[in-house]
Structure 1
Amino acid sequence: MSGTTETGRRETLLIIGSGYRIGHERLLAQMATEADLVLLNPEPVTWQTRWVRDAEVFDPGDESEALRLAKGLATRHRVAAVATHEEPLVVTAARLAHGLGLPGVPVAAAELARDKHRQRRLLTGTGISPTRSLLVHRADEARRAARKIGFPLMVKPRSLSGSAGVRRVDDPADLDAAFDTAVHVDKQGMTSDGILIEEFLHGYEFDVDCLVVDGTAIPVSWARKIWAYDPYPIEAGFVVGNGALGREIMTEGFDLACRSVVAAGMDRTVAHVEVKMTPNGPRIIELNARPGGDIASRVVELGRGVRLGALLAAAALGRRPEPESFADRAAGIRFLYPRTTQRFAGLAEAGELRARPWVHEIRELRPHGTTVTPPPEDLWGRVGYVMATGTHADEVADRLLLAHHELRVLGPAVG
């Protein structure tokens, strides 16, 4: 049921940033079922006009101008709350909500979500899944920290997401190169001051999204990850729905995730949490103050019937809906990368595969003729994806593996 006031008027939500069309249009559409939307966006609106009543273009680097534009939208449309699903704009959205005197993610919680070092300190201080972690800024500091932590270990930027600049290091000889990669990784417009040297946690990593409103958090979506490019933890896809996770993970892991977002002070959002189930129990890898990205809203709706955008809008407006979900369905996505640097000429025809009823969508993400490079050289080097469905997560994972094999990236090698 969409959000309305006591007089029957639909509530209005100010969205900061729309994301990109392929990944986020479905999320925006889901949000529009719960409230009227107005948008403050870094780029001029095009496809977004179908889902929003009004929009302004702003410079994320000019907070005073952003606040002026936000006040204009809030005044014209009687905005009730502020939300974002874009990682680089989490802090901006929180500060704008505070400046407008409207509900939103608290500023301190948003800043914590963008700072893994402070996350570690908070969780250690509250007794939640402490992870040995040291903040460094120079290569010699990294070497000293590595001697304290011990190998294998993880090197990661302090304030990025999506495994950007992250690498497992098994040997001291590889430490300097890993540190240099973390320092110079493409930050996609975000800032990161310092590098974390952390203990490597053995175990099974998964995602869970928690709906958090007024100090109460509940799990609403979860995913099994698909990894590639070891020792770089590149998340090459994920599977959701029936059988995605085991019962132990869904009790201990979910409880830890929800307790952690509450401890971090997050509110009025769907918080995306990365957790690893280790031999010593679950441990937090990362807290985020927005829902899962990478087309997650489409895959979650397809595999579980849960609409993350609608839940995000409801949370921002202070409501706690009970999400309904499918019990006998699963879905997943596998991102497609080139095997070498090449001039992209599309994906293999794979006619028999494309005719399979369980193939939900195959899409190319780069124009033909573009030079593309696989990770780790280009962490953002996706050229396409395939979505698949099934009745169980294991079945979907097998189907994605087959599709990944069949959908070769075409084009001549470069260099």
Structure 2
Amino acid sequence: MVGGKPKILRKAHDLGLGVVYIQYQDEYDSAHWPYVDQALLVDYADTERVLPVVRSLYETFPFQMVMSPWELGLLPAAKIDNELGLGGNSLETVELLLDKSRMRSHLNASGISPVAAEVGRTEQDLREFARANGLPVVVKPIDEAGSIGIFLVRDESDLASVVERFHALGKQIDKKDLAGDLDRFLMEEYLDGPEISVETLSFDGRHVLVGTTDKVCVDSGFVETGHSQPSRHPASLLRDVEELVLKFLDAVGLRHGPAHTEVKLTSRGPVIIESHNRVGGDRIHDLTEIAYGIDMDRYALGSRFGLVEPLQQAPQPVAGAAIRFFTPAPGRVTEVTGAEAIADDPALFDLVISVEPGDEVRPLTWSEDRVGHVVARGATAEEAIANCERLLAAVHIHTEPIT
């Protein structure tokens, strides 16, 4: 296991699996200990140094599968799998999913969800792309996640500032949180319409749609402030989405485990945005377990070992689930109220508040700027959303400007 929190290690342990855990030294503590048979504490992003060590470790602890539950561990996990010949998803597939420009070129060449796109470095590159394809245009990193550095350019007067702001992010964000240098960016035509995500599991190349997730984003950008399951879009449209996503997974060569694929429902039909060979973030795995009764982590961990029976068909929803994130005004936190009042609410599944008085709330530019969340359940998606928004509104995170 490359990276990941104690929760997924516990699930592996509960399945009877032994765990060799690769993690940064400062991310490993006593919460992990009960579920780990052997720990390798290294900078796993430095795969040239990690691979020889892992090969030596493999001779003592011969593990049969390698996986990572989060974005920055996917490539190291794939390289370890490739080095040891463990039969997981190919390195080529994982690299294709991580590199948005390569993935877009591959899809365009295959005639799947064609979207005008080019890689740029400079303001001139962006101007030429906008001249050729028209405005608005989306600018985003080639290999990041978490809504890092995504900009919508609506007006020609914004071209210079967007490029400047994009390159400045490399100095503002901790290098450990980045997949690469922000020296290049992907330019894409803007796609209209709402965005959803599709959660799937693959069993030796056979793909099963587990759930569909509706999203809420801030008006001024692409940072997600909420999700809900099951999707409330028309069934006929969701069938088109399922057909597209399964075709896409075949096209990129995914064979095993979970995938989280983002799709825009445009005026010309569903279009693939990007995909990741992992369970969706933002607690989407919890929503899926509430709404569909499927623990995607257990399938990701246990199906290749025969410990979890593979899904034969898409599950039907059994409930509704929703998450909404706290996004208070930027500034210094002065008071947090209301959490105790909702703690015993039967609709509440999870409440996290990650700030306390004295902490700073940063302007909302990417997912890590959100300061907590509420997860709620209901009989339907509509009821879960109403419960979630009611519970969110009951909690107040007060801030004052920082002078």
TM-score (normalizing by structure 2):
0.89
CA change 1:316–1:107 in 2 (3 A) is farther
Deviation at 1:222, TM superposition (A): 2.4
Please, which of 263, 279, 290 is the counterpart of residue 275 of structure 1?
Answer: 263
CA change 1:226–1:50 in 2 (3 A) is farther
Give the AA of the match of 1:40. I
Deviation at 1:245, TM superposition (A): 4.2
> Match for residue 356 of structure 1?
345
The one-character-per-residue Cα deviations of 1:272-292 (angstroms, maximum 9, x if unpaired) are 110112121110000112111
Please, which of 285, 296, 313 is the counterpart of residue 297 of structure 1?
Answer: 285
Which structure 2 residue ranges, 5 or more long, are not aligned? none
CA change 1:224–1:50 in 2 (3 A) is farther
Give the AA of the match of 1:83. M
Please, which of 200, 204, 208 is the counterpart of residue 218 of structure 1?
Answer: 208
Which structure 1 residue ranges, 5 or more long, are not aligned? 1-14
Please, which of 3, 17, 22 is the counterpart of residue 40 of structure 1?
Answer: 22
Partner SS for 2:383: helix
Please, which of 71, 87, 91 is the counterpart of residue 55 of structure 2?
Answer: 71
> May I ask how many residue pairs the two structures share in their alignment?
392
> Match for residue 16 of structure 1?
2
> Match for residue 178 of structure 2?
189
> Match for residue 110 of structure 1?
94
Give the AA of the match of 2:163. F
Q: Distance in 2 between matches of 1:282 and 1:293?
A: 22
The one-character-per-residue Cα deviations of 1:147-203 (angstroms, maximum 9, x if unpaired) are 112112211111111221112222111222222223332362320451122111112
> Match for residue 394 of structure 1?
382
CA change 1:394–1:96 in 2 (3 A) is same
Q: Distance in 1 between matches of 2:353 and 2:237?
A: 34
> Match for residue 153 of structure 2?
169
Q: Distance in 2 between matches of 1:245 and 1:103?
A: 37
> Match for residue 78 of structure 2?
94
- State the identity as a percent: 26
Q: Distance in 2 between matches of 1:270 and 1:168?
A: 29
Mapping for residues 316-335 of structure 1, pairs under 5 Å: 317=305, 321-322=310-311, 327-335=317-325
The one-character-per-residue Cα deviations of 1:338-358 (angstroms, maximum 9, x if unpaired) are 21222x245322655444321
Please, which of 263, 273, 276 is the counterpart of residue 251 of structure 2?
Answer: 263
The answer on 1:158 being equivalent to 2:158 is: no
* Deviates further, 282-291 or 33-42: 33-42
> Match for residue 54 of structure 1?
38
CA change 1:52–1:250 in 2 (3 A) is farther
Please, which of 172, 191, 198 is the counterpart of residue 201 of structure 1?
Answer: 191
The one-character-per-residue Cα deviations of 1:225-258 (angstroms, maximum 9, x if unpaired) are 1212x231111121124x5443124311122112
Give the AA of the match of 2:349. H
> Match for residue 238 of structure 1?
227
Partner SS for 1:237: strand
Deviation at 1:30, TM superposition (A): 3.2
